Amino acid sequence: MNNSPSKWMIKNGIFAASHGGKSVLYGHMVIENDVITYLGEEEPADQEGMTIVDGRHQFFIPGLVNSHGHAAMSLLRGYGDDLALQVWLQEKMWPMEAKFTSDDVYTGTALSVLEMLKGGTTTFLDMYDRSERVAEVVEQSGMRAVLMRGVIGLCSEEEQNEKLNQAVQFVRDWHGKANGRITTMMSPHAPYTCPPAFIEKFVQAAHDLDVPLHTHMSETVAEVEQNVRDYGLRPVDHLEKLGVFTRPTLLAHAVHLTDEEIQKLAAHKATISHNPGSNLKLASGVARVPDLLRAGVVVSLGTDGPASNNNLDMFEEMRLAALIHKGVSGDPTAVPALEALRMGTEYGAKSVFLDNTGVFAVGMKADITSLNIDQPHFLPFTDFISHTVYSASAKDVLHVWVDGKQLIKDGVSLTLDEEKIRREAQLAFEGLLTR
Ligand SMILES: CSC[C@H]1O[C@@H](n2cnc3c(O)ncnc32)[C@H](O)[C@@H]1O
Ligand SMILES: [Zn+2]
């Protein structure tokens, strides 16, 4: 990554930003080094050394935040479709993941980071094994990320402790690295893969390291029923009993919740990564997003891994979030377009406990995605928030900046070698088949 100081002015753009009661602003943005220093209608004077971007024909949104995923699983895209979660995990994913080398994790993650950046995502959360290789890709690409060594505890106590130590060491080694673009969490994979005493160790470690917790929870009916059978409690009460909510906690999925559980999550200020595409594909169900939002829970959007989605297009997740909750509730206002965009940006940042990205405002990190609106599906120029959620896709992304550095220019990556990544990903998959 080139870390030289920089100044940018985006002139004559249309920006997604609350302004005088409107949700868009026609104007100009100045970026100095890693932060936004001006956003307004009045055009500032050019300054020496400033790079000027002609913002006409573009709609600028805060960079998208993908709040839950497993990037390296891009190597398993299309391998094991049309299966329910437990069959998919146990019969398809876990046997293949057991063969992953550290280089496979690097290659699969690079493929996903490339896809995410080209699709306008500027921050992603990743739960995976060998997370130091994930961090390497993040450092090289310039992307922002919330990383963790995800741990499955279905093994001996000795192995559990070894994995826990790796997770702790990862936080110690990487929290705040890459110019602050990397933050970390502690992550037991799920209540059905981590015994209670093991989860308690994660809670203690998260306290000691002062980082949040992240886990899968209540993704399927079967797993909730199993939790009740094994521990006599539904997952929210179970995790509460283990002390999980004494830390800031992000829960992936949270599809099957009772009214009481929703109130409890709101009281604990737990946040939720809603993964509509993955939940639909694995037939897991539809999360109670309108009820969660009404209760004051921060709900963001995630793709989950590329093998259960099967892409990393956050525009698709925003659109799905806006559409499916209308469909199941019969209420066309269940998740309006602006709320879906906020779930993909502002709430995304909040849900992963970042307070410096997700909205356009002076002092915030310059994480910016521009859309080429000179295309048929953006006309007429009625409502750009609506067009972003209901009409746009990753293919419309023109430029992307993260931390004030341009990473995508005219749809092309400036930091990653796309051809090499594509070639190596195919070879890595073929290698997995022969091992
Ligand atoms: C311990 S690394 C992460 C682990 O999570 C698995 N995974 C991928 N998608 C899901 C999902 O939707 N629910 C639960 N677990 C999932 C992945 O295969 C990795 O082993
Ligand atoms: Zn997941």
Residue nearest to atom 14 of ligand 1 (CA): 216
The residue type found at 418 is: E
- Measure the CA–CA gap between 193 and 387, rounded to whole angstroms: 41
Q: Report the atom number in ligand 1 closest to the C-alpha of 151.
A: 1
- Measure the CA–CA gap between 154 and 303, rounded to whole angstroms: 25
Give me the residue label for tokens 């090499």.
Answer: 420
Contact criterion met (CB below 8 Å) for 52 and 132: no
Contact criterion met (CB below 8 Å) for 197 and 241: no
Give me the residue label for tokens 């956050």.
Answer: 314
Q: Report the atom number in ligand 1 closest to the C-alpha of 129.
A: 2
The residue type found at 268 is: H
Other CB atoms within a 10 A radius of the CB of residue 422 amount to 13
- Measure the CA–CA gap between 176 and 62, rounded to whole angstroms: 21
Q: Report the atom number in ligand 1 closest to the C-alpha of 150.
A: 1
The per-residue pLDDT for range 108-159, each reduced to its tens digit, is 999 999 999 999 999 999 999 999 999 999 999 999 999 999 999 999 999 9
- Please state the ipTM of this predicted complex: 0.99
What is the model's pLDDT at position 339? 98
Q: List the domains of the chain with CATH numbers.
A: 7-62+357-412 (2.30.40.10), 64-351 (3.20.20.140)
> What DSSP letter does each residue of 118-178 carry, written as one string?
HTTEEEEEEEESSHHHHHHHHHHHT-EEEEEEEE---S-HHHHHHHHHHHHHHHHHHTTTT
The per-residue pLDDT for range 262-279, each reduced to its tens digit, is 999 999 999 999 999 999
Tell me, using a 6 A CB cutoff, whether residue 302 lines ligand 1. no
Contact criterion met (CB below 8 Å) for 70 and 148: no
CA of 70 to the centre of ligand 2 (A): 6
Q: What is the DSSP letter of 429?
A: H
What is the model's pLDDT at position 18? 79
Residue nearest to atom 19 of ligand 1 (CA): 128
Burial class (CB in 10 A: 0-12, 13-18, 19+), 145: buried
The residue type found at 316 is: E
In angstroms, the first-to-last Cα distance of the chain is 34
What is the model's pLDDT at position 2? 66
Q: What is the DSSP letter of 19?
A: E
Ligand nearest to the CA of 127: 1
The per-residue pLDDT for range 176-188, each reduced to its tens digit, is 999 999 999 999 9
CA of 370 to the centre of ligand 1 (A): 31
Is the entire prediction scored with pTM above 0.95?
Answer: yes
Kindly state the helix (H) or strand (E) to which residue 403 belongs, with its residue range: none
Pick out the chain residues at pLDDT < 70. 1-3, 5
Its sign, for the CA torsion 9, 13, 18, 20, is: positive
Tell me, using a 6 A CB cutoff, whether residue 163 lines ligand 1. no
Retrieve residue 135's tokens: 């961090």
Contact criterion met (CB below 8 Å) for 302 and 317: yes
- Measure the CA–CA gap between 359 and 349, rounded to whole angstroms: 9
Residue nearest to atom 5 of ligand 1 (CA): 189
Q: Where do runs of H (alpha helix) occur along 242-333? A: 259-268, 276-281, 289-294, 314-329
Tell me, using a 6 A CB cutoff, whether residue 304 lines ligand 1. yes
Q: Report the atom number in ligand 1 closest to the C-alpha of 189.
A: 1
What is the model's pLDDT at position 22? 85
CA of 55 to the centre of ligand 1 (A): 40
Ligand nearest to the CA of 90: 1
Tell me, using a 6 A CB cutoff, whether residue 125 lines ligand 1. no
Tell me, using a 6 A CB cutoff, whether residue 281 lines ligand 1. no
Contact criterion met (CB below 8 Å) for 344 and 112: no
What is the model's pLDDT at position 3? 65
- Measure the CA–CA gap between 435 and 433, rounded to whole angstroms: 6
Q: What is the DSSP letter of 295?
A: T
> What DSSP letter does each residue of 195-239 carry, written as one string?
-HHHHHHHHHHHHHHT--EEEEES-SHHHHHHHHHHHSS-HHHHH
What is the model's pLDDT at position 19? 77
What is the model's pLDDT at position 291? 98
- Measure the CA–CA gap between 84 and 106, rounded to whole angstroms: 27
Return the axis-axis angle of helices 337-344 and 314-329, rounded to nearest 10°.
Answer: 140
Other CB atoms within a 10 A radius of the CB of residue 20 amount to 6
Tell me the three state secondary structure of residue 395.
Answer: helix
Best CA proximity match to 303, nearest among 125, 184, 91: 125
